[in-house]
């Protein structure tokens, strides 16, 4: 039988230990905080979500790929070269005019890193993780996404066994756009399900 670790309660959290390590490395001149912050921001908002946007744009323009993506997300995503830790088992669900999927990880912050990059701070926030399960329509409205009462909202809870990725609805007016032209329209928030893809006016 495993005995409890008596010192666990007195040890700092992993976040505090990480912050202390970063501060130590910065003080010794081994890490430039500006460079580190820039790298993290780039991976959080550009590199990772760009991969997911490429997956969606291909699914919108290639019906055969879309079918493979919805049938076996992980292998279809790997076809495009996006794989790695936190991407071992990704299930893709499609939003429609009558069904809207939104993702969460109620236990921690499981997230499909290869296609979305680092999870945003709000995704890890306990308030989002708890409330989106209980009152998804209200939470989405607070985040700027108003859905009609005729739209069913399905909350997908990610875990270490499965990570969810939303295939957003393709917006009207994009029928003649190429895959490359569609990519910049697709945001991380749309891939999580807290926003829709919009066409700039």
Catalytic residues: 105, 108-110
| Contact status, residue 169 vs residue 118, Cβ threshold 8 Å | no
Give dist(CA 8, CA 21) in Å, integer: 19
Q: What is the dihedral of CA 80, 86, 91, 95, to 10 degrees?
A: -80
Q: Quick one: tokens of 1?
A: 């039988």
Q: CB pairs under 8 A, 24+ apart, for 128-137?
A: 128/104, 129/104, 129/105, 130/106, 132/102, 132/104, 133/104, 133/106, 133/157, 136/102
Count the neighbouring beta carbons within 10 Å of the beta carbon of residue 194.
Answer: 25
């Amino acid at each position: 039988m495993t005995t409890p670790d008596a010192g666990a309660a007195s040890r700092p959290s992993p976040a505090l230990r990480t912050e202390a390590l970063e501060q130590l490395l910065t003080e010794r001149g081994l890490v430039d905080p500006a460079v580190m912050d820039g790298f993290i921001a780039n991976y959080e908002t550009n590199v990772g979500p760009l991969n997911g946007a490429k997956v969606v744009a291909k699914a919108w323009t290639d019906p055969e790929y879309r079918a493979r993506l919805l049938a076996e997300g992980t292998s279809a995503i790997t076809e495009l070269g996006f794989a790695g830790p936190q991407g071992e088992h990704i299930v893709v669900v499609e939003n429609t005019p009558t069904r809207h999927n939104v993702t969460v990880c109620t236990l921690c912050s499981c997230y499909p890193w290869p296609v979305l990059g680092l999870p945003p701070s709000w995704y890890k926030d306990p308030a989002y993780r708890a409330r989106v399960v209980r009152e998804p329509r209200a939470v989405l409205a607070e985040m700027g996404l108003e859905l009609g009462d005729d739209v069913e909202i399905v909350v997908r809870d990610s875990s270490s066994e499965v990570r969810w990725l939303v295939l957003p609805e393709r917006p009207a007016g994009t029928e003649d756009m190429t895959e490359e032209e569609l990519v910049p329209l697709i945001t991380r928030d749309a891939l999580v399900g807290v926003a829709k893809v919009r066409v700039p006016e």
